[in-house]
Structure 1
Amino acid sequence: MTSLISVSQLAALETGDLVVLDASIRRSDTGYESGLAEYTEKHVPGARFADLFTEFSDASGSFAFAAPGAEQFQAAARRVGVFQDSTVVVYDRLSGAWAARLWWLFTAFGIDRVFVLDGGLAAWEAAGRPVASGAPSWDVGDVTVKAREGFFVGLDEVEALSQHPSPESAVICALRGSEYDKGHIPHSSSLPYPSLLADDGTVDLARARAAAAGLEGLEGRVVLYCGGAINAAGLALALTEGGLPIERVTLYDGSLSEWKADPARPLIRTIPVD
């Protein structure tokens, strides 16, 4: 079952039980900021803003964008109008990784009717679809969530794999190769999420299938990480679209934000060969 939805498919959906969420984040010279201002200026008509800085992340966590608990996530999902029978479509205006992060969270909390708009807002506009400004009104939802096991992995397991790698498992960094070279978890390999995207920002299914096929022989889990488990979520989406079963994939939620917090934890720095 695909978790991607095209612009034409989204445009054809009935609006009755549809919830469209804008998970945009603003990228600035100092890092990342809330995308609320950009959402208010321009969004898919009817979309609601899903705040990954506060409501859909644990702001009290020890690292940025930490996954919220079930109670917080349920309250956040209800506030953006998600009901028990809702179909949720998520998008962003960057690489799609932020939308994928929200997709991963919804799935991890037991909501399966959630999709990512392939190509995001850029694809919507490129297809000549209208945009809206301001913010629509909606009813508070009633969705009930329950955390599923296996969607996130903690520091202890990743440390164990970094010290004693298993031939049946893989730890993969979803950052760009240049970032991987600057420092990565020992015994982890590189598979940049951007490398599985086409020029228009949609998921390149041929590349995704090839990447997923390369992991099919593993019997254990594929652990994905990046700087803050955002690109890792994008990679999870691409790999599952490529055919890797979702139950085989897990995110190291702390990623390098947590790993690098302790200078005693080793980082492998790669010197590129000319």
Structure 2
Amino acid sequence: MAPPLPSQVDVEWLHQHLDDADLVVVDATNHLPVPTDGPYVPESGAETYRPEHIPGALFADLLVAFADPDSPEPWTAPDHERFAAAAGALGIGDGATVVVYDQHDGFWATRFWWHLRYEGFENVTVLDGGLPAWKAAGHQVTDVVPVPTPRTFTGTRRPELFRSTEEIAASLDNENTILVNVLDEPTYRGEVDTYARRGHIPGSINLPVFSLRDPDTGTLRPTEELRREFEAAGLLDDDRTVVTYCGGGIAATGVAHALALVGREDVAVYDGSMTAWAGRPELPLVTGDSPR
């Protein structure tokens, strides 16, 4: 029996396994260009995938195929049937091994990693450092777009990995739940106008997701360093539930993934995050420093 797939692999592992039968490599990139004024407008990564991707890699459109078309917020998880159909069409399903990467900061990859696990597919891993690390290692890229071999996706949804706005609101006074805001400190403290309202969800601590990566390589910091930081924040306490959130449910999965690497595989993600919460004026927000 093959050993269980780790939550993360490096570029040399992928290079050695690229021709493995049943391996499905997926580029899950979206883009959030910084606006000169007005709100962020997300873009699919399809156009940047086509001219340059890892050989054999397929493209997963998190903004369209793997999102709820009726939601007011982008990237909202669709119903299980829509997700299963889109995954199966890409060749993700029974018998497949999936490696996910993206073209820049890694959080689109961890979003798809989380979403696959939420829908009941566990044989998925993230390429540490993504496409930049692959290119930095001198490995080939291509503009050849492969044709997927469809599979049947039979996963069963795991609701414990997901939180809705209503569930977050109901758990605000629950001492057994730790809410983790993964945005930068000024946004967390309410010093900048990023969303409809400033601040963070009451009781949530701040652990900026970008602090988990080496700024020079884009790869994650050593696992033991991350473990010490998570222990100090109380995130490895098995008696408490950890829920991460960010702006739109993407970067939050980066912390959930890093926690999985140190053994905490049950972290939930608030899918709507600040976009949904701040858009509801009746829901509380606070400003200032982290309570920890």
Which TM-score applies when normalising by structure 1?
Answer: 0.93
2-side partners of 1:78 and 1:219: how far apart? 36
How far apart, in 2, do the equivalents of 1:172 and 1:83 lie? Answer: 31
- Please point out which of 9, 28, 31 is paired with 2:33: 28
The sequence identity of aligned pairs, in percent, is 37
Q: 1:236 offset after TM fit, Å?
A: 0.2
Could you tell me how far apart the structure 2 residues matched to 1:271 and 1:207 are?
A: 23
Match of 1:16 among 10, 13, 21: 21
AA at the equivalent of 1:155: T
How many Å separate the matches in 2 of 1:269 and 1:141? 48
CA deviations over 1:35-88 (Å, ceiling 9, x no partner): 101000110011000000011111212322111211011111111122310000
1:93 aligns with 2:107: no
Q: For the Cα contact (< 8 Å) 2:89–2:148, is it kept in 1?
A: no
| Deviation larger for 207-216 or 122-131 | 207-216
| Residue number among 158, 162, 180 corresponding to 2:188 in the alignment | 180
1:185-200 equivalences in 2 (<5 Å): 185-199=201-215, 200=217
Moved over 6 A (4+): none
Aligned match of 1:159 in 156, 169, 190? Answer: 169
| Aligned equivalent of 1:201 | 218
What stretches of structure 2 of length at least 5 have no aligned partner?
A: 191-198
In structure 1, the partner of 2:195 is none
Provide the alpha-carbon RMSD of the alignment. 1.7
**Alpha-carbon contact 1:226-1:256 (below 8 Å) kept:** yes
Q: Could you tell me which runs of 5 or more consecutive residues in structure 1 were left unpaired when the two chains were aligned.
A: none
Aligned partner of 1:266 among 264, 284, 289:
284
Distance 1:257 1:73 in 2: 22
Q: CA deviation at 1:217?
A: 3.0
CA contact (8 A) 1:165 1:187 kept: no
Q: Which moved further from structure 2: 183-192 or 62-71? A: 62-71
- Aligned residue number for residue 194 of structure 2: none
How far does residue 138 in structure 1 lie from its aligned partner after superposition?
2.3
Q: Distance in 1 between matches of 2:150 and 2:237?
A: 45
Q: Deviations over 1:179-229 (max 9, x none)?
A: 211211011110111111112111112332123323223512101101111
Q: Which SS does the other structure have where 1:115 is aligned? A: strand
Equivalent residue number for residue 223 of structure 1: 243
State the alpha-carbon separation in 2 of the partners of residues 148 and 26 from structure 1. Answer: 28
Work out the CA distance in 2 between the residues paired with 1:193 and 1:207: 14
> Are 1:225 and 1:255, in contact at CA under 8 Å, matched by a contact in 2?
yes
The alpha-carbon distance between structure 1 residues 161 and 143, as it changes in their structure 2 partners (threshold 3 A), is closer
Q: Aligned pair 1:122/2:138, yes or no?
A: no
1:243 to partner: Cα distance:
2.8
Kindly tell me the number of residue pairs found equivalent between the two proteins: 268
1:83 equivalent among 66, 76, 93: 93
